[in-house]
Amino acid sequence: MFGLIGHLTSLAHAQRVTRELGYEEYAEWDLEVWCSAPPQIVDEITVRSITGQVARGLYVESFFLPEMLAGSRIKTAIRKILNAMAHAQKHGIDITALGGFSSIVFENFNLSQMLRVRNIELDIHRFTTGNTHTAYIICRQVEAAMVKYGIELTKATVAVCGATGDIGSAVCRWLAQRSEIGELLLVARDPQRLADLQGSLGRGQVMAMPEALPKADVVVWVTSMTQGMSLNPAELRRPCVLIDGGYPKNLATQVQAPGVYVLNGGVVEHSLDIDWRIMKTADMLNPARHLFACFAESMLLELEGWHTNFSWGRNNIAIESMEKIGEVSQKHGFRPLIA
Ligand code: NDP
């Protein structure tokens, strides 16, 4: 059985979707109540592969909200993630994806040193960040979008915002070594980590966001910002493709301007309907078939019987692992969302 640990993107989002799902009492909760809520299994999932295989899973809502990363609530955020992982393990789930900020909290606060949760010793082999599949899907979206919008690969400039992150660094590695793109711009805040990345890639220019955006034909957004930012489309090239892989979204509002195309980054489309309700909460266009690539990774690991932490740690995603998960992704009927 596979599992997905998820969370909503803000208190306002949480209040809206709980009301839409008919949980009127949760819609009244303020942040304090969300802070005290224990994890819950809120959905049962059946996914069918195009091979005919069937996998079953559970969705664990952690009740974490990004607002908890501010100031005095860090301990609450940590507790939310550890409790959700313990809940998944207690229910016998073999492989669980740590969606959105779950894996970021795990890494940023070194939770691998805190694996004892009451009477449960967390077995990290039962968890995957899902970031290998996410990075693979984003790279495929970059390549497909260039073809769709007539951007020539070898002359294209791609800016990766969040380049030094787990997903961002994997995307940079793939683009630098596998795709023959013209220029790679590396955007993040910490200069040392940027210099280390540039050194390991052997290419790419480190650039601040305001300088990089007007130069880019394609911008990949994979930062860990807890709130989106707005962009002035007048400063972008035409055509320009914005691939927003953040959760919460890195772009606060959809940029609407002729020649600027925004893609739902790190999202896959399945060939068959998935039996679940939960993707309705993520504002997907087709919630029966569209899902986050990290969630799809745990489905793939279950379908393949690879009950192991396929994606783990930070900034160590190998191109070979991206190819391997990409192969089984196609085999089971998932494809990058390009529309
Ligand atoms: P990491 O924490 O590993 O990396 C975050 C990156 O963002 C770092 O390079 C960080 O560098 C940079 N960053 C943070 N804030 C800013 C800022 N204000 N301006 C510029 N750069 C910034 O995160 P992950 O790679 O694990 O995840 C990235 C995003 O992808 C998250 O939003 C996450 O929720 C989402 N995600 C999506 C998935 C999907 O299936 N679609 C799956 C998993 C995650 P620095 O701090 O130096 O600036």
Q: What percent of the chain has pLDDT over 90?
A: 91
Ligand 1 pocket check for 310: Cβ under 6 Å: no
Q: How confident is the model over 58-86, as pLDDT tens digits?
A: 999 999 999 999 888 999 999 999 999 99
Q: What is the DSSP string of 14-61?
A: HHHHHHHTT-HHHHT--HHHHHHPPPEEEEEEEEE-TTS-EEEEEEEE
**pTM of the entire predicted model:** 0.98
Three-state DSSP at 66 gives: helix
Q: What is the DSSP string of 38-49?
A: PPEEEEEEEEE-
Residue 210, preceding bond cis, omega within 30 degrees?
no
Closest by CA position to 179, among listed 209, 125, 141, 231? 141
Ligand 1 pocket check for 102: Cβ under 6 Å: no
Q: How confident is the model over 12-35, as pLDDT tens digits?
A: 999 999 898 888 888 899 999 999
Question: Please, which pLDDT band fits residue 254 given cuts at 50, 70 and 90?
Answer: confident
Give me the pLDDT at residue 71, please: 80
Q: 52 CA to middle of ligand 1, Å?
A: 35
Whether the Cβ atoms of residue 294 and residue 266 lie closer than 8 Å to each other: yes
Domain extents in the chain: 2-131+269-331, 135-267
Mean pLDDT of 115-130: 97
Give me the pLDDT at residue 331, please: 98
Mean pLDDT of 205-228: 97
Ligand 1 pocket check for 266: Cβ under 6 Å: yes
Q: 246 CA to middle of ligand 1, Å?
A: 7
Give me the pLDDT at residue 280, please: 86
Mean pLDDT of 140-167: 97
Q: Buried b vs exposed e over 235-262: b needs ≥16 C-beta within 10 Å?
A: ebbebbbbbbbbbbbbbeeebeeeebbb
Whether the Cβ atoms of residue 60 and residue 84 lie closer than 8 Å to each other: yes
Burial class (CB in 10 A: 0-12, 13-18, 19+), 183: middle
Q: 217 CA to middle of ligand 1, Å?
A: 21
> From atom 42 of ligand 1, which residue's Cα is the shortest distance away?
294
Residue 270 has pLDDT above 90, yes or no: yes
- Classified by CATH at the fold level, domain 135-267 comes out as Rossmann fold (3.40.50)
Residue matched to tokens 């711009």: 185
Q: What percent of the chain has pLDDT over 70?
A: 100
Ligand 1 pocket check for 176: Cβ under 6 Å: no
Ligand 1 pocket check for 221: Cβ under 6 Å: no
> From atom 4 of ligand 1, which residue's Cα is the shortest distance away?
165
Q: Which atom of ligand 1 is nearest to the CA of 250?
A: 32
- How far, in Å, CA of 280 to CA of 153, rounded? 35
> What is the CA 47 to chain-centroid distance, rounded?
20
- How far, in Å, CA of 323 to CA of 232, rounded? 36
| Maximum distance among all Cα pairs of the chain, rounded to whole angstroms | 57
Residue matched to tokens 């805040």: 189
Whether the Cβ atoms of residue 48 and residue 54 lie closer than 8 Å to each other: yes
Ligand 1 pocket check for 225: Cβ under 6 Å: yes
- How far, in Å, CA of 44 to CA of 275, rounded? 8
Pocket test for ligand 1, best of 222, 243, 284, 311 (most atoms within 8 A of CB): 222
Whether the Cβ atoms of residue 102 and residue 122 lie closer than 8 Å to each other: no
Pocket test for ligand 1, best of 108, 128, 194, 224 (most atoms within 8 A of CB): 224
> From atom 43 of ligand 1, which residue's Cα is the shortest distance away?
100
Q: 299 CA to middle of ligand 1, Å?
A: 23
Handedness of CA 206, 208, 213, 214 (dihedral sign): negative
Q: 165 CA to middle of ligand 1, Å?
A: 5
Residue 339 has pLDDT above 80, yes or no: no
Backbone phi and psi for residue 129, each to the nearest 5 degrees, phi listed first:
-75, -25
Q: How confident is the model over 309-325, as pLDDT tens digits?
A: 999 999 999 999 999 99
Ligand 1 pocket check for 282: Cβ under 6 Å: no
Question: Please, which pLDDT band fits residue 150 given cuts at 50, 70 and 90?
Answer: very high
Q: Say which residues have a Cβ less than 8 Å from residue 87's Cβ, sequence separation at least 6.
A: 38, 39, 40, 41, 60
> From atom 3 of ligand 1, which residue's Cα is the shortest distance away?
165
**DSSP conformation class of 326:** H
